Amino acid sequence: MAPLVSAVKTIQTFDAKFAYEFFWADSGKIHLIPNYSTHLESARVIADNKCTGAINGGFYAQDNQPLGLVLADSTEISRVRQSQLFNGFFSIDNHGQSLIAVTYPEDAKIIMQSGPTLITAGKVVDLVLNDDKLARRMVVATTNDNSVLFLTVYHPQTELAGPLLDELPSIIKSIADQENISINSALNLDGGRASSFYSNNLTLTELTPVGSLFCVK
């Protein structure tokens, strides 16, 4: 299925051209919807919750359990996992402050453990991965003024394909430079077949169920 798109943005990097899209989100309007047991199609979740923008969350295992800490509406769905790969937390506290870091606030109402971390303190992270594959990528990022943006990077002709994960930090930095955005931190979310993205300009659907969905209302 070709992506539903009104305008494709592209970035030329690593001797390849990738398509990308992103949308901004007010931290106070971001909701995390678990889908680990219900396995609803993301389009159904988006419609039922009247999301104006949406993107999948972090990774989950074959037993449908999240691979790390997940907190939705202050309710713990899964406990923290010690992992060199899932080494970051995207959180929103009860005051609406967002954070991507190796820690999370005690008063968080939303936490998603995922990874790897792609950008820290405005600098790209040098990733060295043994088992890297080409795949569509999903990212959450925060800017220097604490704004949140959700972003996807994929191959313009093959929507499930995309860059290698170890290329992603530099690609995100190049996109930020091209869009004149000052990204402070960025975190990789689940990608490939179990990923989905919805904005005014682009809809990318999943082939296997997404474990969770960030919904902006």
**For the residues of 103-165, what is the DSSP string, one character each?**
S--TTEEEEEEE--EEEETTEE-----SS-----EEEEEEETTS-EEEEEEE-SS-TT----G
Residue 90 located in a structural domain: no
Residue 67 located in a structural domain: no
Residue 100 located in a structural domain: no
User: In this structure, are residues 198 and 208 in contact, taking their beta carbons and an 8 Å threshold?
Assistant: no
For residue 188, list its beta bridge partners: 139
Instruction: Give 169's contacts (C-beta < 8 A, 6+ positions apart).
Output: 118, 119, 124, 125, 126, 127, 186
**pLDDT the model gives residue 53:** 98
**pLDDT the model gives residue 1:** 36
Averaged pLDDT for residues 71-98: 96
Least confidently predicted of 26-30, 154-158, 166-170 = 154-158
Residue 14 located in a structural domain: yes
DSSP designation for 60? B
Residue 198 located in a structural domain: yes
Residue 190 located in a structural domain: yes
Domain count, the chain: 1
Averaged pLDDT for residues 95-117: 97
**pLDDT the model gives residue 41:** 98
What six digits make up the tokens of 205? 């659907």
Residue 96 located in a structural domain: no
pLDDT reading at 8 higher than 90 = no
Pairwise CA distance, residues 66 & 87, whole Å: 14
Domain containing residue 15 = 4-61+118-216
User: In this structure, are residues 191 and 58 in contact, taking their beta carbons and an 8 Å threshold?
Assistant: no
Residue 172 located in a structural domain: yes
